[in-house]
Each structure stands twice: as C-alpha cells, then as structure tokens.
Amino acid sequence: MSADFLVEIGTEELPPKSLKELAQNFADGVQHGLDAAVLNHGDIHWYATPRRLAVYVERLARAQKDRKIEKRGPAFSAAYDNNGKPTKAANGFAESCGVNVNELQVLENDKGKWVIARFTEHGRSAVEIIPEIVSSALQKLPIPRRMRWGEGDVEFVRPVHWVVLLHGNDVIETEILGVRSDRKTYGHRFHHPRPITLRTPGEYLKKLEKGYVIADFQQRCDWIVEKVNETAETIGGKALIEPELLDEVTALVEWPQAIAGHFPAELVDELPREVLIAVLTNQQRYFPMMKASGDLLPHFITVSNIKSSQPGVLQVGNEKVIMPRLRDAEFFWKRDRSRSLVKYREELKGVIFQKELGSVYSRTERLARLSVEIAGILKFSVEHARRAGELSKCDLVTEMVGEFPALQGIMGFYYAKYHHQEPEPVAIALREQYLPRYSGDGLPTSDIGQVLAISDKLDTLVGIFGIGESPTGEKDPFGLRRAALGVIRILIEKSLPLDIVELFEAARSGFAVQLSADIDMNLHAFFMDRLRPYLRERGYAPDEIDAVLALNPRRLDHVLARLDAVKKFRALPEGMALAAANKRIHNILRQAGNGDAEAITPAINGSLLLEDAEKNLARQLGDIAMKVHPLTAAGNYAAALKELSRLRDAIDTFFDKVMVMVEDEKLRTARLQLLAEIRREFQQIADVSRLQG
C-alpha cells in the first residue's frame, strides 16, 4: 500500500539568496531519511516560495516491510547450564529479541556452537516514522543563524505559521517546529490570504495556483523569464538576465508580474556600463535592458509580487526608487576621479589584509615584486607588471567600490585607462586580476593580466598557508580552493611555462613575517588535490590522472600533454602489457630497496650482464633512450611513450629468461639497475604502473 506524501512548512519571508539551497537540502534530507528507514517511494519533488518550503513524494509506502531477522546470541555453553536449563544470558538474549527462551535455536559450525533467535521484525508505519524524518531534515538545513519567536524555544530560519503533513487523504498528526500539523495551507499574502484546505497531496500545485501562488520554483523562474522577455520586446530591447539574479528574484515573488521602467538617458553615456548594472541589479534587483549591440538602454524591468490594477503607479514608484541610487553612483563617479589612482594607494596603509600579514599597502608591494619576477620569466613587460602590482588594490578605497564591492578591479580599470593616463596593459590587468572569480569563469586574456592574477592568488595562498590557516572541512574564508584552481587554470589553459614550486618560493620571499617552513610541500599537495577534479571534468580517467600526478609535476602547462600521451599509450597493443611490466618492476625494486623503489640507482654496468635476454634489453633501452630524450625535452610525450612501447618484447623475454634476485650481489645489482633505468625512462613522462586493466 502506498500514497503520495506532502510536507509544507509555512513561514515568514525566507532569505531569498538561500531559498533554493534550503529547499533542495530539505528534499535531500527527507529522501535520505526515507531511504534510511527503508520506506519505499517514487520520485521526490521540492517546491519553494518566499513563504514556504515543501517536499512532495510520489507513492510513499504506508509502512516498512516486515523483515526476517536472525540474531546470534551467547555461546551454547554460556546459554545453558549442565542440566540443560537456560541461564540468565539465554533469558536476557531471548527477551532482547522479543521471543520466548524456548524458541531459541542452536547454530553449530567448525568455529563453535551458539544460540540464535529467528523472528520477524514488523515494519513501522509511515505515520510513526515520517515526523522523525521531517524534523531531522529541518534540523540539518544549512542555516547559519537560527531565530526564535514568541515565547517558545523553537528555532528556525524564520518564524513558522503552519505545517501541512498529508499522506494520501490522511493528516499525519504531530507537532513540528512548535506548530501542529494540518491540511491547511495559505495562498498569496494579499491576493488570497484565506486558508486553502487540501484533501490530498495531488491538489497542492493547482489549489495554490488558484490562490495566486506558483509553488514550483522552476516553473516560476521560467514564467519570469517569459514575462520579462515579452516586456523587453515591447520596448524594443533585450533583457540582461543573469542566473544568480534570476534565482533571487524568483525567491522573492509568488505571483510574478513584469513591469518596465526607465531612467534619464544621459546616465547611460556618463556612467560605466558595469556601474549602471550594479545599481539596477545589486540594489534594486531590476533586470537591465540592452540593445542588440549589447549597449545599455535607459530602461529596466522589475518583477512585482502583486498583480496591480494600476501598473503605471508601480512603474512610477520603481522609477522614483532607482533615481537616488543612480544619482549617488553619479556622485561617486565624479568624486573618485578628482584624484589620480596612485594617490589612493597611501590610504591602503590603513586597511588590514590580515592581522598577521599586514596592510593591503604592503600586499601591493609584494604583488609588484612577484609580478616583476613572473613577467621576467615569461619575457613580458616588467615595468607594466610592476605598475599593475602597485595600483592593483587602489580602487578598494574609492567610494564607488565602497558602495559596490563587486566592482573592484573594474573601477580601477576605468580610472586608470580613461582618467589617469596609465598604460593600457596596466589598466587591463587591474580589471583581470580577480579572474577567474568562480568555476567556469573566463581567464585573463592579457599578458600582464595573467601575471597579476597569478600573483594575487599566490600571495593569498602562501600568506594564509604560511600562518597555518589552511582550509579545514567546508570552511574556506579566504577562498583558497578557488584561488588554487584559478592559478591551475591560468597555467594550464594559457600554457605558461612556470614552475609552481618556484612560484611558491618567490611569493614566500616577499613576506616580512616568518612563514611556516613546510609551506611549499603543503601547498603543492593542496594544488594536486584541486587538480584532480579539474582533470576529471576534462574527461581523463582516474588512473590516467594518477599516472601523471604520481610524479608530483611542477610544470602544470605540461600536464595535459602528459595525460594525452598516457591515454594514447594505453590504447596501444603494447600499452597495458607494459603498464603491468612497470608495476612488476616497481614491486621488485621496492622489495630490493627495503620498501623504497627509488633507492636503486639507475646506472647500468653492462659488463656484468650475462644472459642474451638482458644484454638485448639493455642495448634496446640505450638505443630507444637516445630517441626518447629529445622527444621528452620537446614536450612530445606521446611520441616518447610510443618509442618506449617498442621495449615490450625485450622486457617480456627478460622476465621469461632472467632471474633478477640471484645470490651474486654484483649481478643482482646490475639487473636491478637495468630495471630501474627502464622505470626512470617511463617516469620522465608518467608512472604507467598506475594504469588499471
């Protein structure tokens, strides 16, 4: 027996930026609880509006299935006395299993003899289990700060006003978050404030829609996109709809209505595009309007939660609200340009980057120094690199960035390029220094932008790791995981020939404070951990990644070429056989080196080799190595591995004909050195012994 199930938690307005996450986590928690309780069910759906979190479960079982249980108890000798009567141990075991002591049975095998209890455990009803599951799912929601209301001690993200708990036609009667469950939900706060009675979960969406509520988050989101685009077409433009803003607007309304508005056209010409967008989206959650060319129009579209009989009044109201904010931005723009960008730098001395690492001013000095060093290696302009580092954080103390922190770097670009006569490569670098800001974001395109972006991220990583504040668990307040991935992406995707460990050392030398001695090793391991998922997303197999990262590469720009070579190598007819041979070689060397395969020095004394098979292998290895070394030096790893694959027959013959671990110490050493040399040649590219069949 099964029936659809619905739980809805009705609240005061929930935080819009976390609504979607809360709803998804609630559904995940309910599903986890049902699965753990072995309550069979169909598909699970989540719904969310500003005033509710809901989970709908199709075909939820009425009860758990009965289970046949067999429990082993005490040893037979402890369960019965010499007269065959049950002891306290037997009686206690039988009672714990809910059976009569006379129902206990005996299990005997070659390991001993015990008493066992066989019984049927009757499944609990869903009515009994569900309140526990729902309460647990709510308790585990990612809520940074919970609040209390009224006189009770219940805590939740917002005060709770109603709870719906329906399984089929039946209300599951319980108390959740201080509220008794019922079958009554509520519609739109203004359009339909009266209670709505649900007979079954299946009525939920349709009845709420009659109450001016679109409960399905994605349906509401799609509706907003459709209405906004329709409104934009009537104006002759296109709406700029960013996913993050769209989710936030969706989380603010239950019955969305699109309303157009406008502002003075001269502001489009006067203020930078990014400033206008920041005012419209960050402060008012309006959708900006664009021409087909991408230029902004002096129009916006807002989404109201009320279907008004006088939309013109709402339009005028929204236009009045936005104007003071636009005028403030205009004022900041004019005031910030009254001083040159470099004059803001002195103010950075009073801004603390991190209490142990000093001011932002001292950070710009480190960035200038590190940028010069990196630019020198890459043969980019060291003067531009120095200047970009010095000016990199000056816009942080401007009024515009103080009001709109997301514009950091962007305002530095505008002030540097258009008003303070800085070289264009410097201005572009100021804009690109924070890239990539998130997974999938674009990378710096300019030479100096790449240099400054790497310097910025490395300075943070080395400094924070150096004072022992590396990320723990999910906590990463300085965004170090994102910073490491950013450096990885720039080095790999821009093919920059930089040694990552040398970069750590260069960054560390710029700090005036004493940093941890093992920072390079810890940071390199941290980078390798970030590199693995990045490479998996690019389609490489886990064992291929292991084969390359086992060498702890320092030149990340070579990693993809090595991986491509390994992928091609495993597809060769000889590939997996040589991978297995390498594994065998590694094990032999490890045993001979007392656990350390690298303890065997690859320096072959060919005069000591006796058998034709080993002499032939040594000769072929020497010939092939002469071809492999220039290929490896040129980064042609696929061709190098293909050359090495020619060793397959010689290696197979060697293992067929030659005993490595002989008593003659000199001969044994020579053979081990031959194997070590083979392994060394492969490890110039990858540890192919890591490949799985």
Residues 274, 291: one domain? Answer: yes
pLDDT tens digits, residue range 121-162? 777 899 999 999 999 999 999 998 999 998 888 999 999 999
The rounded radius of gyration (Å) of the Cα atoms in the chain is 35
Find the mean pLDDT for residues 565-589: 93
Find the mean pLDDT for residues 576-600: 82
Q: Are 100 and 40 in contact (CB under 8 A)?
A: no
Find the mean pLDDT for residues 552-575: 95
Give 530-545 as a 3 state SS string: HHHHHHHHCCCCHHHH
pLDDT tens digits, residue range 632-662? 999 999 999 999 999 999 999 999 988 888 8
Q: What is the spatial distance between Cα 672 and Cα 555, in angstroms, rounded to a whole number?
A: 30
> Residue 602's pLDDT is what?
63
Q: Are 298 and 263 in contact (CB under 8 A)?
A: yes
Residues 29, 145: one domain? Answer: yes
Calculate the alpha carbon distances from 444 to 303, 365, 453, 491, 639 in Å. Answer: 35, 21, 7, 11, 32
Residues 95, 233: one domain? Answer: no
Residues 146, 256: one domain? Answer: no
The residue to which tokens 């004072």 are assigned: 467
Last residue of a domain, one of 303, 336, 369: 336
Q: Are 76 and 32 in contact (CB under 8 A)?
A: no
Domain contains 543:
no
Last residue of a domain, one of 309, 336, 363: 336
Q: What is the spatial distance between Cα 42 and Cα 160, in angstroms, rounded to a whole number?
A: 28
pLDDT tens digits, residue range 288-344? 999 988 899 999 999 999 988 888 888 999 999 999 999 999 999 999 999 888 899
- Per the structure block, which two tokens stand in for 105? 């049975």
Last residue of a domain, one of 505, 538, 571: 538
Residues 471, 522: one domain? Answer: yes
Any long-range contacts for 608-615 (C-beta under 8 Å, 24+ apart)?
A: 608/666, 608/667, 608/669, 608/670, 609/667, 609/670, 609/671, 609/674, 610/667, 611/657, 611/658, 612/657, 613/650, 613/653, 613/654, 613/656, 613/657, 613/658, 614/654, 614/657, 614/658, 614/671, 614/674
Would you give the DSSP letter of residue 284? T
> Residue 224's pLDDT is what?
97
- pLDDT band of residue 565 (cuts 50, 70, 90) is very high
Q: Are 361 and 345 in contact (CB under 8 A)?
A: yes
pLDDT tens digits, residue range 164-174? 999 999 999 99
- Per the structure block, which two tokens stand in for 518? 């093992």
Residues 677, 582: one domain? Answer: yes
For residue 245, is pLDDT > 70? Answer: yes
Domain contains 6:
yes
Q: Return the CATH number at 606.
A: 1.10.730
Q: What is the spatial distance between Cα 54 and Cα 137, in angstroms, rounded to a whole number?
A: 12
- pLDDT band of residue 599 (cuts 50, 70, 90) is low
- Pairing verdict, β 179-182 and 160-167: parallel
Domain contains 444:
yes
pLDDT tens digits, residue range 515-546? 888 888 999 999 999 999 999 999 999 999 99
Domain contains 32:
yes
Q: How far is residue 261 CA from its own chain's centroid? A: 38
Q: Where is pLDDT greater, at 163 or 665?
A: 163
Find the mean pLDDT for residues 356-381: 96
Residues 519, 629: one domain? Answer: no
> Residue 601's pLDDT is what?
66
Q: What is the spatial distance between Cα 185 and Cα 211, in angstroms, rounded to a whole number?
A: 10
> Residue 450's pLDDT is what?
98
579 backbone dihedrals φ, ψ, rounded to 5°:
-60, -45
Find the mean pLDDT for residues 410-417: 95
Residues 99, 222: one domain? Answer: no
Q: What is the spatial distance between Cα 223 and Cα 55, in angstroms, rounded to a whole number?
A: 21
Find the mean pLDDT for residues 179-201: 96
Residue 82 exposed, middle or buried by CB count within 10 Å (0-12, 13-18, 19+): exposed
pLDDT tens digits, residue range 480-507? 999 999 999 999 999 999 999 999 999 9
- Helix axis angle for 559-571 and 637-644, nearest 10°, is 30
Give 591-640 as a 3 state SS string: HHCCCCHHHCCCCCCHHHCCCHHHHHHHHHHHHHHHHHHHHHHCCCHHHH
77 lies in which domain range? 67-121
Q: Return the CATH number at 14.
A: 3.30.70
> Residue 604's pLDDT is what?
67
Q: Are 64 and 37 in contact (CB under 8 A)?
A: yes
Average pLDDT, the chain: 93
For residue 595, is pLDDT > 60? Answer: no
Among 76-85, 374-383, 427-436, 486-495, which is the least confidently predicted range?
76-85
- pLDDT band of residue 350 (cuts 50, 70, 90) is very high
Residues 655, 566: one domain? Answer: yes
Domain contains 580:
yes
Residues 347, 471: one domain? Answer: yes
Domain contains 544:
no
- Pairing verdict, β 105-109 and 112-121: antiparallel
> Residue 603's pLDDT is what?
67
Residues 167, 28: one domain? Answer: yes
Q: What is the spatial distance between Cα 516 and Cα 520, in angstroms, rounded to a whole number?
A: 9
Among 144-153, 236-245, 546-555, which is the least confidently predicted range?
144-153
Q: What is the spatial distance between Cα 487 and Cα 498, in angstroms, rounded to a whole number?
A: 11
For residue 606, is pLDDT > 90? Answer: no
Residues 651, 563: one domain? Answer: yes
Q: What is the spatial distance between Cα 56 and Cα 202, in angstroms, rounded to a whole number?
A: 9
Q: Return the CATH number at 358.
A: 1.10.3210
Domain contains 545:
no
Q: Are 299 and 260 in contact (CB under 8 A)?
A: yes
Calculate the alpha carbon distances from 328 to 143, 267, 273, 325, 394 in Å. Answer: 34, 12, 15, 5, 21
Domain contains 117:
yes
Sheet-wide strand order for 257-262: 238-239, 287-290, 296-304, 257-262
> Residue 600's pLDDT is what?
64
Domain count within the chain: 5
Find the mean pLDDT for residues 214-232: 97
> Quick one: which of 441, 394, 440, 437 has its CA closest to 413?
394
Q: What is the spatial distance between Cα 559 and Cα 530, in angstroms, rounded to a whole number?
A: 14
Q: Which residues contact 579 (CB under 8 A, 6 or more apart)?
A: 570, 688, 689, 690, 691, 693
- Per the structure block, which two tokens stand in for 169? 């036609």
Q: What is the spatial distance between Cα 124 and Cα 65, in angstroms, rounded to a whole number?
A: 8
Q: Which residues contact 508 (CB under 8 A, 6 or more apart)?
A: 462, 466, 515, 519, 520
Calculate the alpha carbon distances from 581 to 653, 677, 687, 688 in Å. Answer: 11, 13, 12, 9
Q: Are 71 and 117 in contact (CB under 8 A)?
A: yes
Among 146-150, 210-214, 215-219, 382-386, which is the least confidently predicted range?
146-150
